[in-house]
Structure 1
């Protein structure tokens, strides 16, 4: 479990975890997650940099902010947090529904971004998704399932996001479930899903504006957002690198944190001669996965 504190931003409580020192890496989660989904990835990345994970306002144990919940508005909220933290530039890592606001942020605020990593996210309105995601993209059904059957949604996520042989640590499971079961969190997620679905066709207008070094890091066994989403995104960001972890599933940050951290570390080293904190030796990167 990551140690957390509660900060006030925009007059509302935001749960935050901070580790390490140096250039800041900000981790963006999706749902039914919160910052504890990075409980093993964050320490691995923090060996070389400062790492900040937070519960999105309205999700986890953070209070909601006024307004909608589109990727654009989420990116603007991230900008407010980055300003409050007095960070000039950041490295962004977004997974699942954290991927879209990460992409929009990188496009809108290029002067604030060192690099971008996108993992297992719904980035194409045309590429195929799992039948579960297809159904959940229908607003009325999404609303019904999230409001009335939270345990079913959470159970299905656990059984499709992780390999069969891997389970969440008990403390992480309880933290994620106790947050997701709150009606206010699920109400926000309903709004967020509607906002994301409405803005998804427009997102490619921002993709091509992303100029920072970009890594598209995908699970080879991503059930919900297959590799077609990754290859599509690469066509929209021509300078992006695509790396596939062949045996990984959706929550590879949980099941394979060392391998994910190794690829991200190698990516950082590829564009920065100062990837290591002065006085330290960079950890060896994992062996490259087969590129898509």
Structure 2
């Protein structure tokens, strides 16, 4: 588990974990997790970097901020945090729904980013996903499930994001479930899903504006966002490096953290 503290931003609490010293690396999570999804990855990165993980405003133990929840608005919130942390430039690592705002941030604020690593994200609205994702996006039942059946969503995540017979550590389970079960958090996620879906057609134009070094790092056994998404992203960002970890799953930052860490450190060494 990462040690965390509650900071105040815009008069609202924000949960943050900080490790190490050096160039800043900011970790961006998706859902139903929170910053603790990086519990296995962050310490390895902190050997020679300042690593910051935070719960997005509206998720985890962080209070919501006014406004929408599109990838562009999430990128703007990240910019506000970097300004308040007095970080001029940062490496960004985005997992799941943290990947899209990381890429948009790099396109819109190019002078504030050193590099981007994007992992296991919905980066194309036309590329194949799991039947669950296709069904949820097409019929919008995610609103009903998120509002009324959080345990079902969380259970499904545990059984599809991790390798078989690799349960989530009890402390991680308790922390993630404790925050995901909060109605206000799930309501924010409903807004976020709608915002991401609405902005999905615009994302390729931003991808093509990304000029910083990019690593597209994908799990070969991601059951929801197949490697076709990684290959698509590579076509949109020609300078990007593409790496597939054949046995890795969606939550590879937890289950295959050593492999993920090794590949990211190799990427950083070449910058």
Please say if 1:30 is aligned against 2:30: yes
Distance in 1, matches of 2:217 and 2:112, equals: 21
Q: Mapping of 1:25-64 within 5 angstroms?
A: 25-64=25-64
Q: Deviations over 1:111-168 (max 9, x none)?
A: 0111000000000011000011112214641110001100000000000000012111
Distance in 2, matches of 1:41 and 1:137, equals: 30
TM-score by length of 1: 0.92
Please say if 1:250 is aligned against 2:250: yes
User: How far off its partner does 1:205 sit?
Assistant: 0.8
Q: Report the equivalent of 1:84.
A: 84
Q: Mapping of 1:1-292 within 5 angstroms?
A: 1-138=1-138, 140-271=140-271
Q: Deviations over 1:41-72 (max 9, x none)?
A: 00011112110000000000000000110000
What SS class does the counterpart of residue 270 from structure 2 fall into?
helix
Distance in 2, matches of 1:139 and 1:33, equals: 23
Distance in 1, matches of 2:189 and 2:201, equals: 19
Distance in 1, matches of 2:3 and 2:175, equals: 12
What SS class does the counterpart of residue 218 from structure 2 fall into?
strand
C-alpha contact (below 8 Å) 1:139/1:194 kept by paired residues: no
Distance in 1, matches of 2:2 and 2:65, equals: 24
Distance in 2, matches of 1:220 and 1:56, equals: 27
What SS class does the counterpart of residue 225 from structure 2 fall into?
coil
Distance in 2, matches of 1:139 and 1:170, equals: 34
**5+ residue gaps, structure 1:** 272-292
Distance in 2, matches of 1:136 and 1:68, equals: 21
Distance in 2, matches of 1:7 and 1:134, equals: 37
User: C-alpha root-mean-square deviation of aligned residues, in Å?
Assistant: 0.7
Deviates more, 1:126-135 or 1:231-240: 126-135
Distance in 2, matches of 1:126 and 1:132, equals: 15
Q: Deviations over 1:93-114 (max 9, x none)?
A: 0010000000000001110111
- Consecutive aligned runs of 4 or more in structure 1 exceeding 6 Å deviation: none
Q: How many residues align?
A: 271
User: How far off its partner does 1:196 sit?
Assistant: 0.2
Distance in 1, matches of 2:134 and 2:211, equals: 31
TM-score by length of 2: 0.99
Distance in 2, matches of 1:140 and 1:247, equals: 31
C-alpha contact (below 8 Å) 1:23/1:49 kept by paired residues: yes
What SS class does the counterpart of residue 118 from structure 2 fall into?
strand
Distance in 2, matches of 1:93 and 1:191, equals: 23
What SS class does the counterpart of residue 117 from structure 2 fall into?
strand
**5+ residue gaps, structure 2:** none
Distance in 1, matches of 2:192 and 2:27, equals: 18
